[in-house]
Amino acid sequence: MALLANALEGIIADVLPKKFGIVCDGCSFRSEHYVAVFATFLHDDKMEKILLAMAPLVDDDIVDHSAPAHVAFL
């Protein structure tokens, strides 16, 4: 798994420009909630995105699933 992670980090580092945007998004599947972080950038006149991280919100006390709550979680 570590070899795969290192290989992907290298590929992503090669693809990402020096300046890029960050987008946080949340999704739900049944009773499970997740937060995802994407890098967004322009490539060949098209907007591209790469998933950088995805994590479950496992704290049962979290009831607010707004963007500020997701940022606070991260």
Q: What confidence tier does 22 reach under pLDDT thresholds 50, 70, 90?
A: very high
Distances (CA, A) of 4 to 8, 10, 25, 43: 6, 10, 25, 25
| Domain ranges within the chain, ordered by starting residue | 2-73
pTM of the model: 0.71
Contact 74, 37 (CB under 8 A): yes
pLDDT in tens, 26-42: 887 887 888 899 999 99
Spatial separation of the C-alpha atoms in residues 8 and 10, rounded to whole Å: 5
State mean pLDDT over 14-23. Answer: 91
